Amino acid sequence: MSEGMQGAIVGLIVAAAALYLLRKYLPRSRKPVPGAEPKSGGCGSCGSCKGGSCH
């Protein structure tokens, strides 16, 4: 394999790792994820009320 090809592959790996770390550790815009909302059934914001009464 030529040195230019090896440099390109290493560059791609480094770029992919940097992108991964940036996406993991930088704060993202908080879009609501479907299915991750608290349950809504007449309860408060905790989503795990017991006994049928709100608090």
Task: Note the pLDDT of residue 17.
Answer: 97
CA distances, 12 to each of 5, 8, 18, 24 (Å): 11, 6, 10, 18
Place of tokens 């309860």: 43
* Alpha-carbon Rg for the chain in angstroms: 23
Task: Note the pLDDT of residue 26.
Answer: 82
- Res 36 pLDDT > 60: no
Q: What is the pTM of this model?
A: 0.45
Average pLDDT over residues 27-48: 59
